[in-house]
Amino acid sequence: MSSIAIPHPPPAGLFHIDILQLIFDFCIDDDFNNAVDAHMAPIRLSHVCRRWHFVASRTANLWARLFLTVDFFSIRRVERVATHLERAGANPLTIHLYLHFPHQLSLEREGRVHALTLDKMYDTLEMLQSHMGNIRYLSLSSDTWSPIGALLQAMMDAPMPRLQHLNIQRRNTRFPLISGFLPNSSTAWARPLLLGAEGGAPACRSLSLLGTHVDWSACTVSHLERLELGFLSNEFKPKASELLNLLDNSKNTLEVVSLYGVLVLEEFEWENAPEAAGAEENDAQVTNTATEAQGQPVEEDNEDDMFYDGDVSESNSDSEAETDDDDRDIYGHDDLDFIDRKPGPYPSGGQNLVNEVTGASTSNASFSDSGYESVQVAASLGPDTREDARPPNEQADEGDGESEREAGEEADDEGDMNEDEDEDEDEDEDEDEDEDEGEDEDEDADNHEDHNDDESENEDEEEESEDEEEEDEGELLDPALMEQQENEDETHLAAVNTDVVDPRIVELPEAEELRLGFYHAQELIYILRHIRVPSLKRLHLCNLQNLVGSRGDDGDPQFVNIALRELMREDDRSLPLYQLEELTLRGIHYNSQQSLAQRLVDECCSLKKLSIDDCHFAFLGPFQNNAGPLREDLECVRLRTDDLASLVRDMVLRAAAIRPSDHQCIRTHTLIIEYVFVNGNRNGEQNSEYFQSRLAQEGVADNIVLRQVPPMACLLPVPVHEKLEGWVDEFGTGF
């Protein structure tokens, strides 16, 4: 084998050490999704040659980033953590802990991996304990509760004066409303978070807690610039007053606020049946369960719906087992962490999950100021209470059934007596037969008359129902009546006291971005009435309920149309929509003949970027220009849909409806449509190029981009790092 001669080999000291260290620094990727490459980069650089090993081992910034996943928790790799920390020295540390188990693992194997990972997690935290003061960015994303609790405990025991960003996420946030999906002990997992000026992390400016349970009453968080909360179980959501305190402590510094269903939702049944009959079916109320005498929330027994072993009710009431200083035993027996993938009540399709999560938000739902303490006042209905709690129509139906059964029994007794008399009186058989025949004829005549009366009554009822249907259709087609009904609903919902405990209004003068996800429209109304954002430029609204429930446009029980009208109030309570530059809507459906979408766009006269995902078809556009020359052009409109053909059809029809009017369409520079199927009917004659040409003919946008995307894999988006998977919009800001 011949050797290759290099005519001009580079000198050994081609680059100065400072320049080489700078080059090494650029080799480190801060992208969390490339954790493996980022973790191995310093090791690979140090194994090129002796000189590079010498320079790399003395480049402290090269070792100041740690990316640890489940695969890294081996004995050898845990030892590498100590090497990283030693070579990083006093430099600010960036630490990412990504603890997700492979989905192909069986439950038994996953339990063993979890136990091993937890032990290595404790070993790693012990090594990090002496370096807590140097951590600047800390991110933990886990499938289970145990590492989260261990990290929160470690943060309580050591000050973190350099910490600026804290991001803690539990990935199983697709089950936020299932009452059984709780840690082993609520009091053990509810840790205080001390990040304020008086706490252990006074420099913290960014806080993201998704699916993370903390003790909100003991939290000292202030001077935040970014705040993200969401996907919490009802037992661990903050009280309304605690949420306002959290916002008020950082009111002069907050720039981005993200709240995803942070207010408590409770299912309850009325103990007094007549009161239940008078209540609106979908009326949302804000209640104070600590002082409410009637309408106690009911905690339903869902033992059959659990997909893992463990008695949650006992774990919630047990508060004596958490006195030990070392919580390793508590975290180690986290039996509820693993999803049982055996065939059970939750199949792969997740239909039961859809029903349970949907039911937690659609029936008589309310959120209160009780927070996670609300579970303590929940009481199951007794036999007498269940009897009274049934709707009056069911009780009436049962009463009618009992009367019919009694009448039938009396008729049977009469027949038996007649048969006995016929057998005993043989000599009067002919006379009795004549009398019986006469009686039968009279009874037949009476029954015939009763039957005719019943038929006439049924005909009258059918005519009345037809008249009512015609009246209902007339009302639906009458915009004036529809507007009147909306006003009545708005008045009715506005009469509900949305803050019985804390009437404060928090003003956030520096906030420019607001991201709100809600399970019920009343949540959105509450937030809109209690915060002021005068500098708002970017607004993101997401109806979380429609992501897991019915996506139909009719019969929406959430009063979203009223919430949108609340948003568009022209008073000091409304958000400054006229200065919005970006608007994102996801899962927004409403039951209305009026084009609230057009009104919303009219209010946002400075809007430049619009992103729509799984919303009412009226939001798809195009929109007419009602503001004249003062109207800003839309730079970019992004639409996401399952069926491209249906979306294009609706847009073409709307464009054709606007053309004869005196108004022009709002000009759109770039239209981006993301679709799953070209045609839901699987019509092979039409392709994406055909629909793109149809949109171009209508002139809906200057540039049209169509791209096919995979369907949403999960019922709810799962948080990944600082973004939500599937919610990242075209503008790079994510949702």
Write the DSSP assignment of 591-648 as a string of letters: --SS-HHHHHHHH-TT--EEEEES--GGGG---B--SGGGPPPEEEEEEEEEEHHHHH
How many alpha carbons fall within 13 Å on the CB side of residue 666? Answer: 28
Q: Which of 256, 271, 292 is the last residue of a domain?
A: 256
Mean residue pLDDT of the chain comes to: 64
Is the backbone of residue 146 left (phi > 0), alpha (psi -120 to 50) or beta? Answer: alpha
Residues with Cβ within 8 Å of 45's Cβ and at least 6 positions away in sequence, in order, are 24, 27, 52, 56, 62
pLDDT at 187 over 60: no
Closest CA to 243 of 203, 182, 286, 295: 286
Q: Give the residue ranges of DSSP H helices in 509-613.
A: 521-530, 544-548, 560-567, 596-603
In three-state secondary structure terms, 379 is: coil
Q: Average pLDDT of 516-531?
A: 83
Closest CA to 170 of 206, 208, 139, 141: 141
Which range has the top average pLDDT, 144-158, 226-240, 411-425, 446-460? 226-240
Q: Is residue 68 very low, low, confident or very high in pLDDT (cuts 50, 70, 90)?
A: confident
**Domain for residue 264, yes or no?**
no
**Domain for residue 571, yes or no?**
yes
How many alpha carbons fall within 13 Å on the CB side of residue 246? Answer: 27
Q: Average pLDDT of 444-459?
A: 55
Structural contact between residues 62 and 23, judged by C-beta atoms closer than 8 angstroms: no
Higher per-residue confidence, 260 vs 32: 260
Q: Is residue 250 very low, low, confident or very high in pLDDT (cuts 50, 70, 90)?
A: very high
Q: Is residue 726 very low, low, confident or very high in pLDDT (cuts 50, 70, 90)?
A: very low
Q: Average pLDDT of 515-527?
A: 83
**Domain for residue 485, yes or no?**
no
Q: Give residue 409's pLDDT.
A: 52
**Domain for residue 649, yes or no?**
yes
Residues with Cβ within 8 Å of 370's Cβ and at least 6 positions away in sequence, in order, are 239, 264, 288, 289, 290, 377
Higher per-residue confidence, 525 vs 429: 525
pLDDT at 252 over 60: yes
Q: Average pLDDT of 449-468?
A: 55
Q: What is the dihedral of CA 82, 86, 89, 93, to 10 degrees?
A: -20
Higher per-residue confidence, 524 vs 323: 524
Q: How far apart are CA 445 and CA 534, in angstroms?
A: 79
pLDDT at 567 over 60: yes
**Domain for residue 389, yes or no?**
no
**pLDDT above 70 as % of the chain:** 47
Mind giving me the DSSP string for 481-507?
HHHHHHHHHHHHHHTS-S-SS----EE
**Domain for residue 175, yes or no?**
yes
Q: Which of 228, 256, 284 is the last residue of a domain?
A: 256
142 has which bridge partners? 99, 170
Q: Which residue in the block uniquely carries the two structure tokens 């990412």?
A: 96
Domain containing residue 703: 536-724
Q: Average pLDDT of 255-284?
A: 52
Phi, psi torsion values for 653, nearest 5 degrees: -65, -40
**Domain for residue 610, yes or no?**
yes
Q: Is residue 186 very low, low, confident or very high in pLDDT (cuts 50, 70, 90)?
A: very low
Q: Which of 224, 256, 288 is the last residue of a domain?
A: 256
Q: How far apart are CA 120 and CA 142, in angstroms?
A: 14
pLDDT at 165 over 80: yes
pLDDT at 637 over 90: yes
Query: Total domain count for the chain?
Result: 2
Q: Is residue 408 very low, low, confident or very high in pLDDT (cuts 50, 70, 90)?
A: low
For residue 518, the tally of other CB atoms under 10 A from its CB is: 28
Mean pLDDT lowest for which of 107-121, 237-251, 329-343, 344-358? Answer: 329-343
469: burial class by Cβ within 10 Å (0-12, 13-18, 19+)?
Answer: exposed
**Domain for residue 511, yes or no?**
no
Structural contact between residues 515 and 558, judged by C-beta atoms closer than 8 angstroms: no
